[in-house]
């Protein structure tokens, strides 16, 4: 079966949508393919416009912890829509979802809902600056916090540096207030606090970065960040847009025992609908308008459809005591199987997993930061990706993205995936060997 309708759909989209997609990674450029257009999803399965079926490990980039079109979530959305799609007023369901989150997340005493993860992290750093009355933030290369100007910064030369814009439209002034350091390098953070005394408002970090592939923190790294922020009176912000309710019921902070001052959330808390949130200590959150001087607002913040989908999802998590245990076991079986297959075919690789997040890098490793992640064989990944897609496995179309498992996945889906991976790695390895063989003339 071909991708004929997807290719035609992409051609049509390019006539009216910038780049033909509404988020760059969807264009499939990293794997040299034309994007696949989907028409439906059910459980762990996606169906494209050509009628092909896939076991899905993207899950809308993480939100669908319960899988596609989960009955409880669909029912909640339909009921909410029947009552009205948006009011621009407070609703009780906002409070109900907030109560669920506050009860689960160790750091959150007060919360504010927004409409995206980008909006949540953007608002959190504004709040941090307003609360501390300091200008600078520290972020880490490879950690993605959305596309706000302050985050589209790359490191300059050296490990201790003010950032430079890595997107046109970001000013040098904005970049000067963002310091970019290597992930997993606590010593660099220590030096930075010495270099910029009383200037750093916050350190913002993905505790489990998922946008350079899944990279895990070294033992005690997050704990050291907590200590340094406390020592220098800066706020520690955990970006748990991806890891929140993904790696455990209380996110990475409950899993690691490290409690930040502020936390940003998204994805799972909206059950697949657009949502974001930021929250934390009550004294910090009280600086937000209308209580405090830091302004933040949003027309569709707390949208009743998103609140209903999120509440249905978090209630399903709350009511299933073994949910995360089952997800962890299934993810371990998947990653161990992928590692065994890669080893069998002599393919350099490193795997990582945390809760229901996982990743595989085609490099010897270890992978501890962006620099080591970038050593991956992206050409091999592209061959592997295409072969997996042909065999009905839908992965993120980039070496540098995490994968996800849902409660809808079963051991049968994992077995199907590993069978496909065995054939796909063998195929990709043969292609690589063929390309490396000199042509005699």
Catalytic residues: 144, 239, 267
Half-sphere exposure of 418 (CA within 13 A, CB side): 19
* Contact present, 405 and 326 (Cβ < 8 Å): no
Beta strand pairing status for 262-266 and 235-239?
parallel
d(CA 398, CA 385): 8
Rounded Cα gap, residues 282 and 255, in angstroms: 22
Strand arrangement of the beta sheet that strand 350-354 belongs to: 350-354, 357-361, 403-404
* Cβ neighbours of residue 149 closer than 8 Å, sequence gap 6 or more: 169, 170, 171, 174
C-alpha dist (Å) from residue 36 to 7, 16, 142, 246, 383: 8, 18, 26, 26, 16
> In Å, what is the CA distance from 191 to each residue of 7, 228, 337?
51, 11, 41
Q: Which of 59, 142, 118 is nearest to 403 (CA)?
A: 59
Cα dihedral 189, 194, 195, 196 sign: positive
Bridge pairing between strands 200-205 and 235-239: parallel
**Which long-range contacts link 20-24 to residues 24+ away (Cβ below 8 Å)?**
none
| Residues 54, 43: Cα–Cα separation, whole Å | 11
**Residue 119 CB coordination number (10 Å):** 23
Within its chain, how far is the Cα of 415 from the centroid? Answer: 25
Checking DSSP bridges between strand 276-280 and strand 262-266, what pairing results, if any? antiparallel
């Amino acid at each position: 079966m071909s991708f004929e309708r997807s290719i035609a759909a992409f051609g049509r989209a390019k006539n009216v949508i910038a780049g033909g997609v509404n988020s760059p990674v969807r264009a499939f450029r990293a794997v040299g393919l034309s994007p696949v257009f989907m028409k439906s999803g059910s459980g762990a399965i996606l169906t494209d416009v050509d009628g092909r079926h896939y076991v899905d490990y993207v899950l809308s980039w993480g939100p669908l912890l319960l899988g596609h079109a989960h009955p409880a979530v669909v029912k909640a959305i339909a009921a909410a829509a029947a009552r009205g799609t948006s009011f621009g007023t407070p609703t009780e369901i906002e409070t109900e979802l907030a109560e669920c989150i506050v009860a689960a997340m160790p750091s959150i005493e007060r919360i504010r809902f927004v409409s995206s993860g980008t909006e949540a992290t953007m608002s959190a750093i504004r709040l941090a600056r307003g609360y501390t009355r300091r200008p600078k933030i520290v972020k880490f290369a490879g950690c993605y916090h959305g596309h706000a100007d302050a985050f589209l910064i790359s490191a300059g030369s050296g490990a201790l540096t003010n950032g430079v814009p890595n997107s046109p439209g970001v000013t040098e002034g904005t970049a000067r207030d963002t310091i970019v350091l290597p992930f997993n390098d606590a010593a660099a953070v220590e030096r930075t606090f010495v270099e910029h005394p009383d200037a750093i408002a916050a350190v913002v970090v993905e505790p489990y970065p998922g946008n350079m592939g899944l990279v895990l923190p070294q033992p005690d790294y997050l704990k050291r960040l907590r200590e340094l922020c406390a020592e220098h009176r800066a706020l520690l912000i955990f970006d748990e847009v991806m890891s929140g309710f993904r790696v455990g019921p209380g996110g990475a902070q409950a899993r690691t025992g490290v409690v930040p001052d502020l936390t940003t959330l998204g994805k799972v808390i909206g059950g697949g609908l657009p949502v974001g949130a930021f929250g934390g200590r009550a004294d910090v959150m009280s600086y937000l308008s209308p209580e405090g001087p830091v302004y933040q607002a949003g027309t569709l913040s707390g949208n009743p459809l998103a609140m209903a989908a999120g509440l249905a999802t978090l209630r399903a998590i709350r009511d299933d005591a073994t949910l995360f245990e089952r997800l962890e076991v299934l993810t371990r079986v998947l990653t161990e199987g992928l590692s065994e297959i890669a080893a069998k075919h002599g393919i350099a690789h490193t795997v990582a997993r945390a809760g229901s997040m996982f990743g595989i890098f085609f490099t010897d490793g270890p992978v501890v930061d962006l620099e080591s992640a970038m050593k991956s064989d992206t050409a091999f990944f592209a061959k592997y990706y295409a072969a997996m897609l042909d065999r009905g496995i839908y992965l993120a179309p980039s070496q540098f993205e995490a994968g996800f498992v849902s409660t809808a996945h079963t051991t049968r889906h994992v077995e199907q995936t590993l069978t496909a991976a065995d054939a796909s790695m063998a195929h990709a390895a043969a292609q690589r060997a063929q390309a490396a063989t000199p042509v005699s003339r």
